[in-house]
Amino acid sequence: MRRRFAVASFSLAVVLGCGTLPAAAAAPADTDRAVTAVNALAAPDVDVTKVRAHLSELSAIAGRNGGNRRSTTQGYRDSVAYVKGKLQAAGYTVTEQPCTSGCTSGAGPNLIAEWPQGDANNVYMFGAHLDGVSAGPGMNDNGSGSAALLENALTLAQQNPAMRNRVRFAWWTDEEQGLNGSEFYVRSLSSTQRSRIRAYYNFDMVASTNGGYFINRITTSAAAPMKAYWDSLGLRPEENTEGAGRSDDYPFQQAGIPTSGYAMGAGARKTSAQAAKWGGTAGSAYDPCYHRSCDTLTNINTTGLNRAADGIAHTLWQQAVS
């Protein structure tokens, strides 16, 4: 997520050991599996170990390319190649969309993947920005959202259910410099193409180690399946006020497309009430490693990541699967 009133990004990273971890972060990765099976209707359980494996690959890519995955670097382009290869092997129709206006000079492409089943006049989009800041590898911001989205796409392909509606995934370029990749994509759509998108769901920083459970536009009908899933886990999610207008859902919202999404917080500080509800350290940032070099693989709340990944699956199944 980009920083408000700046061109830098919105990173949700907290180094393990920076204060007391939330109860959610300390729990085993798949303690919600039984609840998931009961409440997610037909949605599968998304394997969080596979999500973490994608994070490890993104971390290795950053390590081979100057320590980061900024949109203008080879680290970003290699990240695109990794995600694209996985999607093509799974049977997706995958398109690289060069950002020809409005993006930072030299920025890599958006990556768009569509599952070729379901009603093309009713599209549900799920997106995350794939780029990071130059300060570090960007594992929480936004490797977490990108990896959770990728494993959901691969799970959908592996399950191959009958589809009622169309599902489209997107990994955005140049978010950290001003939401530029997603803005370009929305501008590139005709009015008819925009009208076919029934909702856009955004996932930006879903593994903050001192984080909370936040939903964009939580009271809207688009948010209903996302909220229902986290409610089923007893999480009592809150509105993502910190992230309003700061990530890739905003261009869709401005175009009149319903939006929602999950987040776990960035540089804002956890309140006492939130610490009482979710655990963690009151008065400390949701992600003390926000836009810092310490946003590494040690800066991931695996339980939060698991809950987000499974909530994405629940929402996808509710909205698009027959």
Q: Which residues are catalytic?
A: 175
Spatial separation of the C-alpha atoms in residues 78 and 194, rounded to whole Å: 30
Closest-CA residue to 63 (of 136, 132, 3, 6): 136
Written as one letter, the residue type at 135 is A
Q: Which residues contact 184 (CB under 8 A, 6 or more apart)?
A: 97, 99, 100, 101, 102, 103, 110
Give me the residue label for tokens 């940032």: 285
Q: Which residues contact 125 (CB under 8 A, 6 or more apart)?
A: 167, 168, 169, 170, 197, 199, 200, 201, 252
Backbone angles phi, psi at 157, to 5 degrees: -65, -40
41 by DSSP, 3-state: which?
A: coil
The per-residue b/e assignment along 94-121, b for 16 or more CB within 10 angstroms, e otherwise, is beebebeeebbeebbbbbbbbbebbeee
197 and 257 Cβ atoms separated by less than 8 Å:
yes
Closest-CA residue to 4 (of 251, 302, 247, 238): 247
Give me the residue label for tokens 């300390």: 26
Closest-CA residue to 181 (of 84, 114, 251): 251
DSSP string, 96-127: EE---SSSPTT---EEEEEES-SEEEEEEEEE
